[in-house]
Chains A and B, each alone.
Chain A
Amino acid sequence: MFDWRWDFAWEILPRLLMATVNTLIAAGAGYAIALVLGLVFALAQRTPYRPVTFVVRESVEFIRSTPLVLQIFFVFFVAPQFGIRLSPWASGMIAIGLHYAAYLSEVYRGGLESVPKGQWEACTALNLTPMQSYFRIIVPQALPPSIPGMGNYLVGIFKDTPMLSVIGVAELMHTANAIGAQSYRFLEPYTMVGVIFLLISLPTAWLIRIFDAWVRNKMGMN
């Protein structure tokens, strides 16, 4: 029977909002790791050192071909056997950061490849170092075309944070499960978690589109 209890919903709202903060922190921290590490992966695949490009390319492929939840378990339960003991939070951030870094590196790679060869030649003609060429000329041009893809994965990582509940990170899903286990009421917590995700995802996607347009305009690319 459909029996929604508003008083219960009100009662658990503060707990869920606290957990929302944790979810946002997890998504934000994981995404920050993924943004930086993804760029490192993308650039590493373009170095002239064959062994480096090979190892990075295969690792990225490996991460993309295995499930996130497996990677989370792996970091949390298998790493200690190698003497690395990590908290659920640390393991979760590493796993989700690495996972999305692999996807973001593909986004960056597309962006980097979209920069015309002539830009590199202009860098050489001006005698910029390879580092200056990358970070002042090439990467800034690779980013705007990458923004839609980066935005998709921002929403993606946010929606994947519930996977962290499997190792006990107290984010939204974990909290909703706990509430359900205590009260035997699942309708309200799960519904509310869904609504919270929706209320955050939709405006985020919308903000990304605005940001994309703003960056393009700012860089004189429209």
Chain B
Amino acid sequence: MEDLSKYPLQLDGNDVPVVRFMNVTKSYGSLTVLDQLDLDVTEGEMVSVIGPSGSGKTTVLRMLMTLETINSGVIYVDGQPLTHMEKKGVLVPADQKYLRKARAKIGMCFQHFNLFPHMTALQNCMEGPVQVLGMSKKQAQERSEELLSLVGMIEKKDQHPSRLSGGQQQRVAIARALAMRPKVMLFDEVTSALDPEVIGEVTNVIRNLVNEHNLTMLMVTHQMGFARDISDRVCFFFAGKIEEQGKPADLFGNPQRERTRQFLSAVKEAD
């Protein structure tokens, strides 16, 4: 067991990041997927995560969504610990009750959408607000319809996911996540399962979110052009560590590390 007393019970100060990974390690058996990761994301920032397959990109998001536990370190959201809670003046691993409260600030969109197939687009969006936030059906419907309009899916609100294209399903999934009013949105390769001709409709929705909303976003992507376009910062992951990070123009235009250069030239060739 790690000594948790070296981690603060909460983050204080003027510029508390919305997300802070402090010394976070994740391993499956003997395989270390993330190795003492430190990562801050500030309010309203759009951070893209790029890197080779297996470098731990998805794992970072899944830990933040509390879909995975961590082996050491602490993740803070809004200055409060997410993975841990305070007990008698020290941090201990969070229990289910604490996690439920803490994860309310996080929303996530998945590569394979994961819409509820037995519900219409509108019902998918209303489920969380009604069941979790305790909103009235009427209020939840208003909010959901607003968001479905935002993602351009209002005409299809009464369709089941099986009647929608991949791009349309992903847009509904984004609306569904936004309906919970998260502070941080996570996107895990949300365009990877899509046909090339519909990728644009999803990236445009994300672009709008960046421009018009003060959301904090963390996006794993293989689309380098898109990441370069919309990110405030790009993190290049390699073997469970951030090998290099910086403004998109710097990281893509003038990478400092050999591994970054190799990766970028490899993906350029593949395009």
**Interface set of A (CB-CB < 8 Å, partner B):** 116, 118-119, 121-122, 124-129, 132, 136-137, 140-141, 219-222
> Given A118-B114, A124-B103, are A222 and B162 neighbors across the interface (CB < 8 Å)?
yes
> Given A219-B160, A220-B161, A221-B162, are A128 and B132 neighbors across the interface (CB < 8 Å)?
yes
Interchain residue pairs with CB less than 8 A apart (13): A119-B116, A124-B65, A125-B67, A125-B108, A125-B177, A126-B177, A128-B127, A136-B131, A141-B117, A219-B117, A220-B120, A220-B162, A221-B118
Assess whether B107 is interfacial by the CB under 8 Å rule. Answer: yes
Interface string of B231-244 (1 = CB under 8 A from A): 00000000000000
A residues less than 8 Å from B177 (CB atoms): 125-126
Contact A126 B128 (CB under 8 A): yes
A residues less than 8 Å from B106 (CB atoms): 125
Contact B132 A126 (CB under 8 A): yes
Assess whether B259 is interfacial by the CB under 8 Å rule. Answer: no
Q: Could you count the A-B residue pairs with CB atoms below 8 Å apart for me: how many are there?
A: 69
Contact A124 B67 (CB under 8 A): yes
B residues less than 8 Å from A116 (CB atoms): 114
A133 to chain B, nearest CB (A): 10
State the CA gap A124–B62 with chains docked (Å).
11
State the CA gap A137–B115 with chains docked (Å).
10
Contact A132 B131 (CB under 8 A): yes
**Interface set of B (CB-CB < 8 Å, partner A):** 65-67, 100, 103-104, 106-108, 110, 112, 114-118, 120, 127-128, 131-132, 159-163, 176-177, 180
A residues less than 8 Å from B132 (CB atoms): 126-128, 132
B residues less than 8 Å from A132 (CB atoms): 131-132
State the CA gap A128–B162 with chains docked (Å).
23
A189 to chain B, nearest CB (A): 47
Contact A124 B116 (CB under 8 A): no
B135 to chain A, nearest CB (A): 13
Which residue of chain B has its CB nearest to the CB of A219?
A: B118
Chain A, interface SS category: helix
B residues less than 8 Å from A124 (CB atoms): 65-67, 103
State the CA gap A125–B124 with chains docked (Å).
13
Contact A128 B131 (CB under 8 A): yes
Residue from A127, A129, A221 within 8 A of B103 (CB atoms): A127
Known A124-B67, A128-B127; 14 more pairs at CB < 8 Å = A121-B108, A122-B114, A125-B65, A125-B67, A125-B107, A125-B108, A126-B132, A128-B128, A136-B127, A136-B131, A140-B118, A141-B118, A219-B160, A221-B118
A residues less than 8 Å from B161 (CB atoms): 220
A residues less than 8 Å from B120 (CB atoms): 220
State the CA gap A127–B131 with chains docked (Å).
9
Which residue of chain A has its CB nearest to the CB of B62?
A: A121
Which residue of chain B has its CB nearest to the CB of A220?
A: B160
Contact B115 A122 (CB under 8 A): yes
Residue from A119, A127, A136, A137 within 8 A of B180 (CB atoms): A127
State the CA gap A121–B118 with chains docked (Å).
16
B residues less than 8 Å from A119 (CB atoms): 114, 116
> Given A118-B110, A132-B131, A136-B131, are A220 and B117 neighbors across the interface (CB < 8 Å)?
yes
Contact A126 B163 (CB under 8 A): no
State the CA gap A136–B124 with chains docked (Å).
11
A residues less than 8 Å from B131 (CB atoms): 128, 132, 136
B residues less than 8 Å from A137 (CB atoms): 116, 127
B residues less than 8 Å from A128 (CB atoms): 127-128, 131-132
Among A121, A122, A125, A222, chain B packs the most CB atoms within 10 A around the CB of A125
B123 to chain A, nearest CB (A): 10
A residues less than 8 Å from B160 (CB atoms): 219-220
Contact A118 B162 (CB under 8 A): no
State the CA gap A140–B66 with chains docked (Å).
25
State the CA gap A128–B177 with chains docked (Å).
13
Contact A122 B116 (CB under 8 A): yes
Among A119, A128, A219, A220, chain B packs the most CB atoms within 10 A around the CB of A220
Contact A220 B114 (CB under 8 A): no
